[in-house]
Amino acid sequence: MAAIDTAIRAAAAAIALKGVSKAYDAHSVVIPPLDAELRAGEFTVVLGPSGCGKSTLLQMIAGLERVSGGAILIGGREVQDLEPKLRGCAMVFQNYALYPHMSVFDNIAYSLKVAGMPKGERIARVGAVARMLGLDELLGRKPAQLSGGQRQRVAIGRAIVREPGVLLFDEPLSNLDAQLRHDMRIELADLHRRIGATTVFVTHDQVEAMTLADRILILNKGRIEQFDTPRAIYHRPASVFVAKFIGAPPMNVLPVTGDGMTLRLADGQAVAQHADSGQFLLGIRPEDVTASAKGPLQAQLRYREDLGSHSVLAVDLAGSTLRIATPFGAELEISAKLALDFSPTRLHLFDAGTGQAIANAFGPH
């Protein structure tokens, strides 16, 4: 195992996207020119809603789709015109088709055989990968004799056995049930710690993004909304889009009006002090709202979901629905009057027109 660890780690390569764009036809630009630097050995999660261009971006890196413009550098070398097999990437798809008539061993060893690797070396290489993925007892089985998680691990084994410097995943966990997804997340994080390949992992699942990524690249209609660490994305979302995409339930966003001193909700209740006047969107995470007997804001409970560990309350506040995550509240009656409080240090402010965050709107925090 030590040998394969070192071999793969040595090959980890930085990926640079320079003005990379994609249009499938003249009328629809899927990805306008995009710039990003993915560091060697970094685990990047590309996160965004269905149809925003995640798979297209990954396939351009892999060489399965051509770029319409710009350059892709892997390890400092321009690869956008190279065939996929010359780029040093391995890819794991959502629908990982294993060869059904081949054993687990042969599935994993296939690319090595095609590359002409001698049999002894092949056996050693597959053995090391199988041990790393906990597949050593299963090498003689056919795919039909495996569970979903085991099959997924074979697909990963097949990708990493060639010791790629770059590992590309396209929603590899979305066909698995919730428990297995959780287990596989832990295994993938562990695998990345051990082999250290530069990893690009595409998903629409924010939990996968938050738990796996060194940095999350949030894509919206082919554009980068934010590219930063999970903590920064969560605590300092750059736009309303990011704020609403991360967190379960997501951040509350309420329209407010500023008069140069105070921000007010649609019904005139004052929520915070802010020196600019105009229309804004005020963001507050469900876990940052407190419902207390003497809070300054008046709201009414519409419904609640008791999740055991905590409740999610939905309240009417100034004509908007606000969600509150709280360990209390399971006994509240529907229609109960609630008094709410927000800590100013937990508020986010966005431009109502552009949706962009206004930094330090309530003082630095």
Binding site for Mg ion (CB under 5 A): 55
Rounded to the nearest whole angstrom, what is the least distance from the CB of residue 31 to ligand ADP in the complex? Answer: 8
Q: What are phi and psi of 205, to 5 degrees?
A: -100, 110
Task: Pick the closer one to ligand ADP by CB: 182 or 221.
Answer: 221
Rounded to the nearest whole angstrom, what is the least distance from the CB of residue 200 to ligand ADP in the complex? Answer: 13
CB atoms within 10 A of CB 296: 12
Q: Which residues contact 249 (CB under 8 A, 6 or more apart)?
A: 286, 312, 323, 325
- 278 contact choice in Mg ion, ligand ADP, none (CB below 5 to 8 Å, kind-dependent): none
Rounded to the nearest whole angstrom, what is the least distance from the CB of residue 92 to Mg ion in the complex? Answer: 13
Longest dimension (CA), the chain: 77
Task: Pick the closer one to ligand ADP by CB: 48 or 164.
Answer: 48
Cβ proximity of 79 and 14 under 8 Å: no
3-class secondary-structure state, position 347? coil
- 30 contact choice in ligand ADP, Mg ion, none (CB below 5 to 8 Å, kind-dependent): ligand ADP
Binding residues vs ligand ADP (CB under 6 A)? 24, 30, 48, 50-56
Task: Pick the closer one to ligand ADP by CB: 129 or 233.
Answer: 233
| Tokens of residue 240, six digits | 């309303």
| Tokens of residue 4, six digits | 């394969």
Query: Quick one: DSSP state of residue 37?
Result: E
Task: Pick the closer one to Mg ion by CB: 55 or 80.
Answer: 55
H or E segment at 338?
strand 337-342
| Beta-bridge partner residues of 25 | 28
Task: Pick the closer one to ligand ADP by CB: 29 or 330.
Answer: 29
Rounded to the nearest whole angstrom, what is the least distance from the CB of residue 36 to ligand ADP in the complex? Answer: 16
Rounded to the nearest whole angstrom, what is the least distance from the CB of residue 52 to ligand ADP in the complex? Answer: 4
Query: Quick one: DSSP state of residue 308?
Result: S
